[in-house]
């Protein structure tokens, strides 16, 4: 089973960049059979998928339309982890952020199977 | 964008009773529908994927059914640890994205 361990700051100032990392154990970020996702949860927006990175002979990224202009998800093969950067944050980006894997149990990648522990990120000056 | 609508918003039942939770999609999602359980302070846990397949380690009292636009999660006999919030989720191929329902809170009566 894949285990995901999140790290990163819990407080970010408005207009700055939110950065979180998700360390993977039990699998490789470079596997051809999984995708690596970021999701957030807030009372106002519920559960919201933000984007993913995955390797299929080369690296691909997909991002949600709502954050497409501000988000970058990056794999780090040397550390077997992937990272989220969200630029120009506002208080509306305050949420619990989760990383999650997909594609190992549901082969079509239709479910988010293993989750990190979550990180509450507050955007405030 | 496909919208998932869950009902009821809150379900009040007693241990031992049967729970039936509904998820309706605004357009067909074939069988690409998953269910999650979330307890306070925890990440969501995958229960059911592709409408009716239990994830690893999920007890047999949890079952999923449906296809197209109407889906059901059934808990055959509620245990005390089953009281939580339940979410449905679907994935589209294009644009590639996951979307979630707003959740059903299953509370002890």
Residue-wise pLDDT for A10-55, tens only, equals 999 999 999 999 999 999 999 999 999 999 999 999 999 999 999 9
CA distances (Å), origin A12, targets A33, A71, A125: 34, 15, 8
**A46 vs B98: CB contact, 8 Å cut-off?**
no
Instruction: Please check whether residue A122 is in contact with residue A12, taking contact to mean a CB–CB distance below 8 angstroms.
Output: yes
DSSP state letters, A41-92: EETTTEEEEEEEEEESSSEEEEE-GGGTTTEEEEEETTTTEEEEEE-S--GG
Query: CA torsion sign, A108 to A112 to A66 to B100?
Result: positive
The verdict on a CB contact (< 8 Å) between A105 and B102 is: no
Distances (CA, A) of A94 to A13, A66, A73, B24, B77: 11, 15, 18, 29, 37
Is the pLDDT confidence value at B94 over 90? no
Measured between CA atoms, the residue of chain A closest to residue B48 is: A111
B10-62 per-position pLDDT tens digit: 999 999 999 999 999 999 999 999 999 999 999 999 999 999 999 999 999 99
Give the alpha-carbon dihedral of B2, B40, B78, B6, to 10 degrees: -20
Picking from A48, A49, A110, the nearest residue to B34 by CB comes out as A110
Distance from the A48 Cα atom to the nearest Cα atom in chain B, whole angstroms: 7
CA-wise closest residue to B88 among B77, B109, B102: B102
Beta-bridge mates of residue A39: A49, A98
Q: What is the pLDDT of residue A106?
A: 80
pLDDT digits (tens, 9 = 90+) for A43-93: 999 999 999 999 999 999 999 999 999 999 999 999 999 999 999 999 999
Report the C-alpha gap between B50 and A5 in whole angstroms. Answer: 26
Which of B25, B21, B3, B2 lies closest to B13, judged by CA? B21
* pLDDT score, position A46: 97
**CA-CA distances (angstroms) from residue A3 to A8, A10, A23, A99, A114?**
17, 21, 8, 10, 7
Which residues on chain A are in Cβ contact (under 8 Å) with B46? 105, 111-114
Mutation target for B interface from A100, A111, A113, A117: give the one with most B CBs within 10 A.
Answer: A111
Q: Residue B21: beta bridge partners?
A: B73
Nearest to A54 by CA among A77, A29, A25: A29
Residues of B in Cβ contact (< 8 Å) with A39: 98
Return d(Cα B42, Cα A120) in angstroms, integer: 12
């Amino acid at each position: 089973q894949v285990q995901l361990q999140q790290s990163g700051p819990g407080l970010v100032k408005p207009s700055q960049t939110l950065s979180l990392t998700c360390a993977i154990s039990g699998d490789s970020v470079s596997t051809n059979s999984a995708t690596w996702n970021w999701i957030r949860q807030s009372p106002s927006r519920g559960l919201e998928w933000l984007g993913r990175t995955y390797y299929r002979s080369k690296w691909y990224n997909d991002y949600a339309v709502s954050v497409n202009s501000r988000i970058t998800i990056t794999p780090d093969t040397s550390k077997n982890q992937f990272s989220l950067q969200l630029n120009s944050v506002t208080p509306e980006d305050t949420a619990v952020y989760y990383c999650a894997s997909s594609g190992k149990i549901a082969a079509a990648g239709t479910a988010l199977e293993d989750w990190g522990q979550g990180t509450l990120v507050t955007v405030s000056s | 964008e496909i919208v998932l609508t869950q009902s009821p918003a809150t379900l009040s039942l007693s241990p031992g009773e049967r729970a039936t939770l509904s998820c309706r999609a605004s357009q067909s999602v074939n069988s690409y529908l998953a269910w999650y359980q979330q307890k306070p302070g925890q990440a969501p846990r995958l229960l059911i994927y592709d409408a009716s397949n239990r994830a690893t380690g999920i007890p047999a009292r949890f079952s999923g059914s449906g296809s197209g636009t109407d889906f059901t999660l059934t808990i055959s006999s509620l245990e005390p640890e089953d009281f939580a919030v339940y979410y449905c989720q679907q994935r589209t191929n294009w644009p590639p994205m996951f979307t979630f329902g707003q959740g059903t809170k299953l509370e002890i009566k």
